[in-house]
């Protein structure tokens, strides 16, 4: 504690407490509720919002919040496609996008960006619309959506409007949204047969890394002359907003795509940006890596590279979202759900996250590690999907089905994953183990014989400081077990 200033460290502060959660049954009702409670905080997946509520400064003021829950509304969970565009509802998650294959080549570029968002548990909750509303220039999908020339559909009780996503951002974490306006969806134009593109990201590690630089690239090529007629290259994480590089567009239009063109374009990109310095990278590094990545991406396109993003492990993603049983949940309200096959009802109280509610009312098997969605120790299954319970509002578990570490075994019989962890000595201190086991069991239900790459991808959201991961990965290689039993 800072005695002179009387300030608590961030980890000692209680943060903003959730006073109540409004649960509309339809999009129209959501708009009416927002008009009546304009200070409410809209949420869907809530992965950013929960952290924001936890991380409060010491400025005086009300430390309570009213939330408007859009998660699970039928109008918000769909990906609709027509002859000209693909529309992404405001509750569509990144894993839902990844699972939506063969829609359009334009959508493949967005899927490349979605695959880089956090971990599978986070992608089961985090939404594409939430990514743009948060408006951080490091948010990976923004560069893809800006390069794709997407439109943002905005509603309020007073009407609707549609604006280019390039005009949506006004600064760092700032947008054009007015009081009581909600983003209903994002429209992505479909490509014609002469459109090509790609997306890239550079981070400081291979999983759950915030971007040092990311970019979406969309080009159109004249069928007769082979000259570039459209050049939309959006670069993120280098300034306050993600925007189209006008210098690159000006240079590329009229040129033919080649290695020489790519090399010159990279120089233009490096000179056009004024990158930031932060903890992830210096301005000098950002400038250098931007040039290199732009050149490599354009060379790839000149040689016929076609984006083909992997689906990757989804860890149980599905559309099985709970139907709200009550239109308003307060700290005095009871949360009723099925936990490990048993009906549980307990007051919300001060347990704003599912993790806190489970530990207070059910059992302590699910562990609290980072409370930021980074370590995976708190992984549970919510309506079949593996999620980080530390970032899941308790109100969104009302009426849901939850499986924790205690629910994996069947009576006295351990789950096969639990048996394999014991056989391969995949446990040391055991603190991270509940999250690993829930994630691993979900993976094997989805893919009963995963490859090493699929195992590593599925467990990228789970951290361990004891075993070194080798025994954990080995325990999930069922081919090893088959070999040892023969």
Q: Cβ atoms within 10 A of the Cβ of 192, count?
A: 11
Q: Is the dihedral of CA 363, 369, 370, 374 positive or negative?
A: negative
Please answer whether residues 96 and 68 qualify as being in contact, where contact means their C-beta atoms are separated by less than 8 angstroms: no
Tokens of 130: 């939430």
Q: Cβ atoms within 10 A of the Cβ of 230, count?
A: 17
**Which domain CATH number covers 478?**
1.10.150.120
Residue 59: pLDDT above 90? no
Residue 460: pLDDT above 80? yes
Residue 172: pLDDT above 80? yes
Asked whether residue 107 falls in the same domain as residue 42, the answer is: no
- For residue 393, what pLDDT is reported? 93
Q: How far apart are CA 203 and CA 139, in angstroms?
A: 12
Domain closes at, from 302, 326, 360: 302
- For residue 170, what pLDDT is reported? 96
- For residue 13, what pLDDT is reported? 61
Asked whether residue 135 falls in the same domain as residue 30, the answer is: no
Asked whether residue 33 falls in the same domain as residue 87, the answer is: no
Q: What digits encode the pLDDT tens for the residues 209-218?
A: 889 999 999 9
Instruction: Write out the residue range of the structural domain in which residue 55 sits.
Output: 10-69
Question: What is the mean predicted confidence (pLDDT) over 469-485?
Answer: 74
Identify the DSSP state of 6.
Answer: T
Question: What is the mean predicted confidence (pLDDT) over 421-434?
Answer: 92
Distances (CA, A) of 385 to 44, 124, 220, 321, 425: 15, 7, 39, 10, 27
Distances (CA, A) of 62 to 9, 19, 194, 309, 331: 19, 11, 55, 45, 16
**Which domain CATH number covers 238?**
3.30.465.10
Residue 28: pLDDT above 80? yes
- 60 — pLDDT class (breaks 50, 70, 90): low
Q: Cβ atoms within 10 A of the Cβ of 104, count?
A: 17
Inside any domain, residue 162: yes
Asked whether residue 39 falls in the same domain as residue 125, the answer is: no
Quote the distance between the C-alpha of residue 415 and its chain's center.
29
- For residue 465, what pLDDT is reported? 85
Closest CA to 238 of 268, 205, 211, 207: 211
- 486 — pLDDT class (breaks 50, 70, 90): very low
- For residue 351, what pLDDT is reported? 83
Domain closes at, from 235, 268, 302: 302
Question: What is the mean predicted confidence (pLDDT) over 28-56?
Answer: 91
Torsion of CA 42, 46, 47, 49, to 10 degrees: 40
- 189 — pLDDT class (breaks 50, 70, 90): very high
Question: What is the mean predicted confidence (pLDDT) over 324-339?
Answer: 88
Inside any domain, residue 430: yes
Asked whether residue 138 falls in the same domain as residue 14, the answer is: no
Q: What digits encode the pLDDT tens for the residues 278-305?
A: 888 999 999 999 999 999 999 999 999 8
User: How many residues are there in the chain?
Assistant: 486
Inside any domain, residue 370: no
**Which domain CATH number covers 26?**
3.30.43
Residue reference for tokens 């239109």: 327
Please answer whether residues 262 and 303 qualify as being in contact, where contact means their C-beta atoms are separated by less than 8 angstroms: no
Residue 10: pLDDT above 80? no
Inside any domain, residue 351: no
Domain closes at, from 49, 69, 89: 69
Q: How far apart are CA 328 and CA 376, in angstroms?
A: 30
Question: What is the mean predicted confidence (pLDDT) over 168-185?
Answer: 96
Mean pLDDT of the chain: 91
Residue 55: pLDDT above 80? no
Question: What is the mean predicted confidence (pLDDT) over 101-115?
Answer: 93
Inside any domain, residue 36: yes
Cβ burial 55-82 (10 Å sphere, 16+ → b, else e)? eeeeeeeeeebbbbbbbbbeebbebeee
Residue reference for tokens 């959730």: 18
Q: Per-residue DSSP letters for 312-364?
A: ---SS--S-PPPPS-SEEETTSEEEEEETTEEEEEE-TT--BHHHHHHHHT-S
Tokens of 220: 């159109």
Q: How far apart are CA 107 and CA 113, in angstroms?
A: 10
Question: What is the mean predicted confidence (pLDDT) over 323-336?
Answer: 84
Residue 12: pLDDT above 80? no
Asked whether residue 249 falls in the same domain as residue 274, the answer is: yes
Residue 483: pLDDT above 60? no
Asked whether residue 216 falls in the same domain as residue 282, the answer is: yes
Closest CA to 242 of 146, 129, 177, 112: 146
Cβ burial 329-354 (10 Å sphere, 16+ → b, else e)? beeebebebebbeeebebebbebbbb
Residue 195: pLDDT above 70? yes
Inside any domain, residue 364: no
- For residue 2, what pLDDT is reported? 47
Asked whether residue 99 falls in the same domain as residue 186, the answer is: yes
Number of separate domains in the chain: 3
Q: What digits encode the pLDDT tens for the residues 242-276?
A: 999 999 999 999 999 999 999 999 999 999 999 98
- 481 — pLDDT class (breaks 50, 70, 90): low
Burial class (CB in 10 A: 0-12, 13-18, 19+), 47: buried
Span of 135-144, 250-259, 300-309, 398-407 with lowest mean pLDDT: 300-309
Asked whether residue 89 falls in the same domain as residue 22, the answer is: no
Asked whether residue 200 falls in the same domain as residue 277, the answer is: yes
Span of 142-156, 390-404, 464-478 with lowest mean pLDDT: 464-478
Identify the DSSP state of 407.
Answer: G
Inside any domain, residue 471: yes
Asked whether residue 186 falls in the same domain as residue 239, the answer is: yes
Inside any domain, residue 326: no
Asked whether residue 110 falls in the same domain as residue 250, the answer is: yes
Residue 312: pLDDT above 90? no
Residue reference for tokens 């690159």: 248
Q: Cβ atoms within 10 A of the Cβ of 313, count?
A: 27
Who's near 86: CB < 8 A, 6+ residues apart?
79, 80, 103, 104, 106, 107, 187, 188, 190
φ/ψ of 239, rounded to 5, equals: -155, -175
- For residue 322, what pLDDT is reported? 62
Burial class (CB in 10 A: 0-12, 13-18, 19+), 323: exposed
- For residue 3, what pLDDT is reported? 45
Q: How far apart are CA 197 and CA 104, in angstroms?
A: 12
- 50 — pLDDT class (breaks 50, 70, 90): confident
Q: Is 270 in a helix, a strand, or coil?
A: helix
């Amino acid at each position: 504690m800072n005695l002179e200033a009387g300030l608590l460290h961030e980890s000692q502060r209680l943060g903003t407490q959730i006073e109540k959660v409004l649960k509309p049954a339809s999009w129209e009702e959501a708009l009416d509720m927002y008009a009546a409670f304009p200070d409410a905080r809209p949420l869907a997946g809530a992965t950013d919002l929960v952290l924001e509520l936890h991380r409060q400064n010491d400025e005086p003021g009300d430390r309570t919040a009213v939330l408007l829950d859009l998660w699970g509304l039928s109008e918000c969970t769909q990906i609709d496609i027509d002859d000209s565009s693909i529309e992404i509802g405001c509750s569509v998650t990144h894993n839902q996008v990844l699972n939506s294959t063969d829609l359009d080549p334009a959508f493949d570029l967005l899927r490349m960006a979605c695959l880089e968002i956090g971990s599978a548990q986070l992608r089961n909750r985090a939404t594409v619309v939430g990514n743009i509303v948060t408006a951080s220039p490091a948010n990976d999908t923004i560069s893809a959506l800006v390069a794709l020339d997407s439109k943002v559909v905005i509603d309020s009780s007073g009407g609707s409007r549609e604006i280019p996503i390039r005009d949506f951002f006004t600064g760092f974490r700032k947008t054009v949204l007015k009081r009581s306006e909600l983003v209903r969806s994002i429209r992505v134009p479909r490509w014609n047969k002469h459109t090509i593109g790609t997306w890239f990201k550079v981070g400081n590690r291979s999983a759950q890394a915030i971007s040092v630089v990311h970019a979406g690239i969309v080009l159109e090529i004249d069928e007769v002359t082979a000259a570039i007629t459209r050049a939309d290259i959006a670069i993120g994480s280098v300034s306050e907003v993600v925007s189209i590089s006008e210098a690159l567009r000006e240079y590329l239009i009229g040129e033919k795509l080649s290695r020489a063109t790519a090399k010159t374009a990279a120089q233009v990109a490096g000179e056009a940006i004024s990158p930031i310095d932060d903890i992830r990278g210096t301005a000098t590094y950002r400038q250098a890596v931007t040039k290199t990545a732009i050149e490599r991406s354009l060379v790839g396109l000149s040689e016929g590279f076609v984006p083909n993003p992997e689906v990757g492990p989804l860890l149980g993603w599905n559309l099985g979202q709970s139907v709200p049983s009550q239109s308003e949940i307060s700290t005095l309200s009871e949360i009723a759900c099925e936990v490990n096959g048993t009906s549980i009802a307990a007051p919300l109280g001060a347990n704003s996250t599912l993790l806190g509610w489970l530990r207070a009312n059910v059992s302590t098997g699910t562990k609290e590690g980072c409370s930021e969605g980074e370590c995976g120790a708190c992984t549970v299954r919510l309506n079949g999907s593996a999620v980080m319970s530390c970032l899941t509002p308790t109100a969104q578990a009302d009426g849901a089905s939850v499986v924790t570490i205690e629910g994996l075994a069947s009576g006295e019989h351990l789950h096969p994953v639990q048996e394999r962890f014991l056989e391969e000595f995949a446990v040391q201190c055991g603190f991270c183990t509940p999250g690993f086991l829930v994630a691993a069991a979900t993976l094997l239900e989805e893919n009963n014989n995963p490859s090493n790459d699929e195992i590593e991808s599925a467990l990228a959201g789970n951290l361990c400081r004891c075993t070194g991961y080798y025994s954990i990965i080995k325990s999930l290689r069922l081919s090893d077990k088959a070999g040892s039993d023969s």
